[in-house]
Amino acid sequence: MKLGVNIDHVATLRQARYVGDIDAHNVEPEVLRAATICERAGASGITVHLRADRRHIQDADVYRLRQQIGTKLNLEMGNTQEILEIALHVKPDDVCLVPENRREVTTEGGLEVAGQLDALRPTVLRLREAGVRVSMFIEPSREQITASHALGAEMVELHTGAFANSQGEAQLAELARLRDAAIFANSLGLQVNAGHGINYTNIALIRELPNIVELNIGHSIVARALFTGLEQAVRDMLSAMRQP
């Protein structure tokens, strides 16, 4: 499994103090510096979510990351015309289409692809025509996987939130759902990624899933970085992912 590090919450910390010009001389922490540290520690990519409400990542962050990081840029975005136009101009390596609700603290579930085919199809087509690989952030459901495949997405990212928020037998049941979804998506030729709520403890179960190419992990890594430093936090996660 490869590791994409989501650095949204580095920007969350910045935005807690600074608004307006994020290039001012005293603005910190620097999102680009966080990205380069993650790359140095072994991350295979950098993930950011440019939200319509701009609560953390700003437009300038996305442009700067595209120009200066050495790995790949994975841009998470809602299906809005404004963000689509930015994505088409920036041309990240990957775009992951996610649901977005202004009242949510964080993404609360997977995208309802099956019920929004007509709305999503033009966005997927334009991104693919621009040479951007498209992923759908979905619940581990065969219905959503089939719909994502029908749209022409190259990838799905399985939402692991229900797994992360459960315990005991309930968690094992969610793990079984993820396993079935990963096998089914792979059988359709889709790249399978996963993310949301994965931490240094539950990674022991996640790493046993078949066909997962990439994990996108943010909050847990940034939280540990407060105590260990960001580079060590990334290295610790990579180590946890690779343990037998």
- Say how far residue 19 (Cα) sits from the centre of its chain: 24
How far apart CA 62 and CA 167 sit, in angstroms, is 36
Q: Where are the beta strands (DSSP E) in the chain?
A: 2-6, 45-49, 72-77, 94-97, 133-138, 155-159, 191-195, 212-217
The one-letter amino acid code at 86 reads: I
Please spell the DSSP secondary structure of 137-148, one letter per residue. EE-S-HHHHHHH
The one-letter amino acid code at 151 reads: L
Q: Tell me the two tokens of residue 11.
A: 């920007």
Catalytically active residues are 49, 76, 196
How far apart CA 199 and CA 195 sit, in angstroms, is 10
Phi, psi of 192, rounded to the nearest 5 degrees:
-115, 120
**Pairing mode, strands 72-77 and 2-6:** unpaired
Nearest alpha-carbon partner for 78 in 57, 99, 108: 99
Q: Which helix (H) or strand (E) holds 115?
A: none
The span from the first CA to the last CA of the chain, in angstroms, equals 13
Secondary structure in 3-state letters for 6-25? ECHHHHHHHHCCCCCCCCCC
